[in-house]
Structures are given as structure tokens and as C-alpha cells.
Amino acid sequence: MVYLTRKAEFSASHYYHNPEFTPDENKRIFGKCNNPNGHGHNYALEVTVKGEVDQRSGFVVDLKQLKEIMNREVLDALDHRFLNKEVPEFSRQIPTTENIAIAIWHRLEPKLRTAKLHRVRVYETPDLFVDFYGEA
Amino acid sequence: MKAHLSRRYLFSASHRLHNDAMSAEENRATYGKCNNPHGHGHNYVLEVTVSGPVDERTGMVCNLVDLDQFVEREVLERFDHQNLNTLPGFAGTVPTTENLCEQIYDILQRGFGYAHLEKVRLEETLMNSFEYAGGVELRK
């Protein structure tokens, strides 16, 4: 088994707000992130896939294909977007780094054919990141 | 759904690696430059990883403010700008980054209740880092 990691970057804005909370609760729990006008980050994404090395190609995964899938399924949807307003998952869920990692997993996982998705890591800043390994 | 959240913190401290149970020569042979009696310092980078189900109402494993406050109060205030050899925790223990990593893990394990502690990773320099997960194997 070999693990392969591909990085990407996207920039997006978001804010944290739960309509079931009172304005006071939203402020207390989410602090500055509750500003309804949003704020932004340069997110860094690391996608790790795993698999056996194909005898003929020497690849775990065709990187061109992985890059295309990441571009199509993730970056086209998230890059330079206001996540709360423009990404369907976040009309129901708060776009925390946790939920962004989970959403990216669910966007990528069914599209990968040869290698299996092992981990999605999303950096909100260089000092804060979330790892998601799937639901198991 | 379970996710892992990691947060990085910075602190600076000095230490000297020396074991009273060893001869001066043995200390020098074991610890090399780190045995310099006057000590030396590092900018440590602490990476704390916690895990847990993502709360459906908040979208969070735990509130970052709670984690930051705990680490600030219980870890950074204790170690930042200190000489590690002078601290009670290192009275009978050599302040290697291995031992410091375990101590920080224990502080978090005992006191931080908002999420499960997965591991503590401590960078002593850009070239050296140490990880401790309470004695169990690290996740791949």
C-alpha cells in the first residue's frame, strides 16, 4: 500500500451562524466568525489517496485524473466563493473547517476509481487544520 | 461524523540536557552540545490534535476558544520563556523534547474535557519533531 498526497489551494469567505440559536448565543459561540458579512481565508487542501502500485504504470493513481477531479469537484465549486451562499452543502450546515473537510470528502470519494480516499486535510490557516478519514 | 482538529502554538524556552546519575564525561558523550551548563533555547511549535463527532448545531469538534484558552493557561503560561530545568516537572527528569511532549500530553489529557485528545506533536527545530499519543500507535 502506498499513500499519495496532492495539495491545492482555494480562497473563500464564510461566516458561522445557526438560525436555531438566539443572536446572543450566536455571538457567544461563534465570536468574530458570526459577522454576517463574512470573512475569508486562503484554504490549503491536502488529499491523500492510498492503493497498490499498478505494475504497468507504476502509479497508485493517475495524478492528472486526480487533479482534474479535485479541480472539477472541489475547486470549481469552492474557490472564490461565499461558502454559505454559493455551496449547496452549506445552506444547511455551518461552513466550519470540520464541515468543509467532510463536504470535500463526500465530493471526492465517489469519483475516485483506482485509488481509495484515505484522508482529507483542510488548513483554514497554517495554524489550524482538520483531518477527515471518512465515516468509519 | 468524527473529525480531527489540529491547532499549532508557539513557545520559547531554554533547557540543558544533563542527568545527575551520569558522569560528566558520560553526559557530554550522551548529550553533546545540549549538555552546555549554561543551557540553550528553542522556539518550540506545539501541535495539539483532538477528535470527536462534529456537533450538528455548531459544526465543530470543539470550540477553538476553549482549546486556545486551555493551552494558553495550562501549557504556554507554564513553559513559555522559562528555563525548563528549573520547573518542578523536570526536577528529576531530563527536559528532552520527548519528556516535554509527554508532559504536555498529560496536562491536556487530564484537564481538557471538550474533545478527545488524539496526540501532541512538538517541533523542537524545523528538523526535529516528536509525537506522543499516550503510548499507543499513531494513526497512519
Kindly determine whether residue A96 and residue B58, on different chains, have CB atoms separated by under 8 Å: yes
Kindly determine whether residue B3 and residue A29, on different chains, have CB atoms separated by under 8 Å: no
Burial of B76 (0-12, 13-18, 19+ CB in 10 A): middle
How do residues B22-55 score in pLDDT, each as one tens digit? 999 999 999 999 999 999 999 999 999 999 999 9
> What is the number of alpha carbons within 13 Å of residue A78 lying toward its C-beta?
29
C-alpha cell at A17: 451562524
Q: What is the pLDDT of residue A57?
A: 87
C-alpha cell at A112: 475516485
B69 interfacial to chain A (CB closer than 8 Å): no
Q: How far, in Å, CA of A107 to CA of B3, rounded?
A: 16
Could you tell me the pLDDT band of residue B98, with boundaries at 50, 70 and 90? very high
Catalytic entry in B26, B72, B77, B81: B81
C-alpha cell at B91: 526536577
C-alpha cell at B99: 519528556
Per CB-CB distance under 8 Å, the chain B contacts of A30 are 58
Q: How far, in Å, CA of A56 to CA of A118, rounded?
A: 23
Neighbours of B124 (CB within 10 A): 18
Cα B23 from chain centre = 28
pTM check: above 0.80: yes
Chain B residue with Cα closest to A31: B65
Q: Is B101 tagged catalytic?
A: no
Closest CA to A44 of A93, A6, A16, A14: A6
The predicted model gives B8-30 an average pLDDT of: 97
Q: If you average pLDDT over every residue of chain B, what do you get?
A: 96
Closest CA to A109 of A58, A69, A54, A81: A69
The predicted model gives B76-93 an average pLDDT of: 96
Number of structural domains found in chain B? 1
Distance from CA of A76 to the nearest CA of B (A): 23
The CATH number that applies at residue B59 is 3.30.479.10
Q: What is the pLDDT of residue A83?
A: 98
Distance from CA of B32 to the nearest CA of A (A): 33
C-alpha cell at A22: 438566539
pLDDT at B140 over 60: no
Q: What is the pLDDT of residue A114?
A: 86
The SS3 assignment for A118 reads strand
Kindly determine whether residue B59 and residue A21, on different chains, have CB atoms separated by under 8 Å: no
C-alpha cell at B73: 493557561
Q: What is the pLDDT of residue B139?
A: 73
Q: How far, in Å, CA of B99 to CA of B87, rounded?
A: 13
User: Running DSSP on this structure, what letter comes out for residue A72?
Assistant: I
C-alpha cell at A100: 468543509
Residues of chain A with pLDDT under 50: none
For residue B130, what are the domain limits?
2-139
C-alpha cell at B32: 553533546
Kindly determine whether residue A132 and residue B4, on different chains, have CB atoms separated by under 8 Å: yes
Q: How far, in Å, CA of B98 to CA of B130, rounded?
A: 6
**Can you list the alpha helix ranges (DSSP code H) found in B13-133?**
24-31, 64-71, 77-79, 97-111
